[in-house]
Amino acid sequence: MENSDHLESVLATVHELLRAEGANEAAAVVRGYPAKAELTGHDNWNGGTDIWEIQFKLPAPDYARLGVRRGQLEEQITARLKTILEHQVADWYSACIVPALEYRTDWRSDTSELPRNVRQNVLDGMRLENTVWYGQLDDIEFLNRLYDLQSLPSRDARYKDAVGDIFQHRFNNDDWDIDWVYNDSRFQLLEGSAEQFLRFLCETVHPVVRPVRDEALKLVLHFNQQLRAAGWELFEEEQISGRPRFAYRSVHHNSARAVLRAKTVADALDAGWMAKEIERLENAVERDPALAIGTAKELVETCCKSILTKRDIAFTKSDDLGDLTKKVAKALNLVPEGVSEAAKGAENIRMILRALTQMTSHLAQLRGLYGTGHGRDGQHRGLQPRHARLAVAAAVAFIDFVSETYRYREGVKSSDDQSG
């Protein structure tokens, strides 16, 4: 069957026959996936007969999900092919479901997926917090929202499907641990696709599963602490009856990378008191831009106070952000006058340093105009996430530079002390 139009006409007829006869899953395979006719052999009897295979190529996760049902679906499709073609041609036709080849060049590095260790950390965190993953539902009610349990095999030979053995061991015998699903190979939480794992997490914080808003938000915070380092996050997509419904997405925007860098800075400065601002920043960029802008300013302020404290340089409650950054600039020799005229690009370096120190005052003004902590009239319109990301990136650029300079100065000082 070398004519692609003829193949499409045959497949359309196969689809209609399957659907009319109630073989809906086989019909979905015929319509949902690309098919190609492959000549696989030739029989010389009766004048010669070509043997053709109609191959349906499924993405690897979909292929694996079908499991043992693949053979049954192939038989159903093959029977309808025979019904249509046996009176038209002498050739033999059969259906074959095959996995589509992956063309990702980064499959060895796992950069486009979700590494196993990250998944394990998320699940271990749920164990440590004694989180009931199915929330207000039960195991079967929860899993039925994500999987077709009746099509998944039973691990107990007495039952025909997953529903039977889950009911037996979670309700009748109650001899499975509450976290049994985490390592059950049927649900592929550790080994399956990133999307499969992330859908599971989103469902654990769905309003129907976990209707108490604060409980859901706390869980999402814990999830994102692990996921963002791997390039994923859960975010509030919409609200249902005033409660957030979360979805997942790949993290590409600069705010996530900036926040990760801020955490690195805090660790390097051993500044535990920056943690609260970073946590608020991380959760507010997309959901509450005004809060993120206010927090970006506070993050710069906290970084300055941390460095000044380590340098034993006094500051008072009345010192504003401009005062603090001037003291840090002086303490670390960041002022433009510290750059020698003889150095190449001296003027460019001065300009950059001046912009860094002036940037903090602009942040403070931006917070005053659009950030948190100020009353608004009825015509006020808040900023959008892209503005918050700008503020966050600017704040992190400053704290990144001054913290690296601080570590450099401390290293030089230590070397001088040792040589003396």
Strands 35-43 and 49-58 turn out to be antiparallel
Torsion of CA 166, 171, 177, 181, to 10 degrees: 30
User: 101-160 pLDDT, tens per residue?
Assistant: 865 544 554 444 788 889 999 999 999 999 999 999 999 999 999 999 999 999 888 899
CB 338 within 8 A of CB 332: no
The single-letter code of the amino acid at 261 is R
Q: What are 67-73's contacts with CB under 8 Å, separation 24+? A: 67/152, 67/153, 68/153, 69/25, 69/151, 70/97, 73/25, 73/26, 73/29, 73/97
Residue pair 234/246 in contact (Cβ under 8 Å)? The answer is yes
202-215 mean pLDDT: 95
CA dist., res. 104 & res. 239, Å (int): 35
How many whole angstroms separate alpha carbon 133 and alpha carbon 125?
12
376 pLDDT tier (thresholds 50, 70, 90): very low
Q: What is the pLDDT of residues 391-410, one digit of tens each?
A: 777 787 888 788 878 877 77
Residue 265, Cβ density class (10 Å: 0-12 exposed, 13-18 middle, ≥19 buried): buried
Q: What is the pLDDT of residue 32?
A: 85
The predicted pLDDT at position 109 comes to 47
Predicted confidence (pLDDT) at residue 380 exceeds the cutoff of 60: no
Mean pLDDT, rounded, for 287-307: 80
Q: Is the pLDDT of residue 271 over 60?
A: no
pTM listed for this prediction: 0.42
Given this model, what pLDDT does residue 284 score? Answer: 67
